[in-house]
Chain A
């Protein structure tokens, strides 16, 4: 399989008052063409930072990229100028954002916003763009397109807005889609609908996806392969079956255990509740501070990703 996205030695830091904090440290990560790759981790793990880094939307400062290569179709995105990035954003790589409530501009109707993007990105005329917008509304299964297109974002529900954002992400023929927790801030029934829509669109358009989520089970509905991110580092990587059925890293175990389930008398939150230390240790495993199985070596040496069978990798000494 050909790799569409290949990340190597990526280090992204934030400069704060207390000094420089590393938020992303990825040795190697690649997403094959046509694949759906899931990225799971708790809040603050660096998932969204990775999404922004790929699109070069990081607020610089305080963030800065220390080193690394992000190869997309064999070209390093980090070396691209702002003008070149504009040709890539939306047209080759597009993104669905977390919070549908604030992703649309409140002062324009949804129709105006969609047609403007179509006019600019695809050079369509106004009438063509309007027609295409209606088609897009049908694509994301929004009934009564003309009515929806004439409404302002605040007149629509969260689910409707997220569908419009999905329509925008699919509007300009991007081959690579970053979905950053697209079901966040939506209630459960709508989550299911939006997730199903995304899954269908992925199947139909054969787009490559980087799906970001904090719930492994939810991610497993969409993705083929999954990576577990903890404090900017990949701790486990493998096919969805391997990771979900046989989680090997202690962090993955706690993540899975934190999902509330029926019949389980009590949810064990003891481990996950252990807070990550404010500052990163200078050496050793980044998870060691919260790990219940930690040993001496964990505090001294940083574990590298090691192969444990199939396509399954973990970064743990044990």
Chain B
């Protein structure tokens, strides 16, 4: 037998062609709704978390650095701006609240069964979402403290 014979054998072989497969539709829905809620949560927390950490490091832990002064100056400038003043509650409370909600929904699922009149709550083990949820909650608690907002 020569290599050409093998080539000819391979060229002539009748290969299976799967027809009538339908399973792909089941994957399509979760595939196209794939989102990265964790990352979204982290981006939403960036600004309020930076402010909270700046204040904590400087005034609670007594750490002084020019970088923290620059950050504090930037936040003070925000509070002095007429337009940004109105946005402060949305940025420092609205964003962490939104991050908290989307991450909560990522690890906690609700389903209702009308026939048995039951509400089924499923809590999934998703440490990253739980961590961001708790972090968002902590940031919110911080900003609800008296005089916390810039």
- Chain A bound to chain B: no
Chain A interface residues toward B at CB < 8 A: none
Chain B interface residues toward A at CB < 8 A: none
